[in-house]
Amino acid sequence: MTAEAPLADPPRSSDDTAPASLLLEQPFDADTLYQLRAAVLAHAVQAGLPEHRASDIMIVAHELAANTVRHGAGAGRLLIHARPGVLQCQVLDAGTASRNGHPGGTEGSPPSWPSSKGHGLWIVRQVADQLSVVPWHGGYQVTALFTLPAAVTASHNGSRQ
C-alpha cells in the first residue's frame, strides 16, 4: 500500500444532525481494491441489507475508489455510516498528483491504474439514491446515499435506545 498523509475529518453539512454509526473506515489504493470490495460487502450484509442491495453498495464503493486511484491521488479513504433510514458511502481523495505526466501519482511511480475510460460515475448514479461530489483538500469528497429498507431502519433505531 502506498504511504498516505493523514486526512482531516470531512466537512459536514449544516443539516447533518442525525446520529450516525460508523460501520467501516478503510484506506485504499490500487493494491487493496479487492479488500475494499470484500469489506464493504461484509459490512453491508452485517448491517442487515438484502444481498442485492449490499452488492449495489459494494459496486458503488469500488467505482468511487477506482476513480480515486485512477484520476486522483492514487489512494484514499472510504467511510460507511448508517444514519436513520440511510446508509452513507463516502470516498475521500486528498488531491491529484502527477504520475509521469499523467493524473494519479508521483514521478517515478509505476504506470497508472490500468483502465479504459468507462462509466464509473454513471453506474454510481444509476445505483445510488443520491450522489454528491464536493471539492475537498485539493481533491474530492464523494458521497453516495442509499435508502435503507424499513426493517433495517427499525433495527438500527432499536439498537440506539
- Residues 161, 156: Cα–Cα separation, whole Å: 9
pTM summary value: 0.72
Name 15's Cβ contacts closer than 8 Å, sequence gap at least 6: none
The better pLDDT of the pair 10, 27 is held by 27
Which CATH number applies to 21-98+119-159: 3.20.20.70, 3.40.50.300, 3.40.190.170, 3.30.565.10?
A: 3.30.565.10
- Residues 26, 127: Cα–Cα separation, whole Å: 22
Write down the domain spans for the chain.
21-98+119-159
- pLDDT tens across 44-65, in order? 999 888 999 999 999 999 999 9
- pLDDT tens across 94-146, in order? 776 533 333 433 444 444 444 456 688 899 999 999 999 999 888 899 999 99
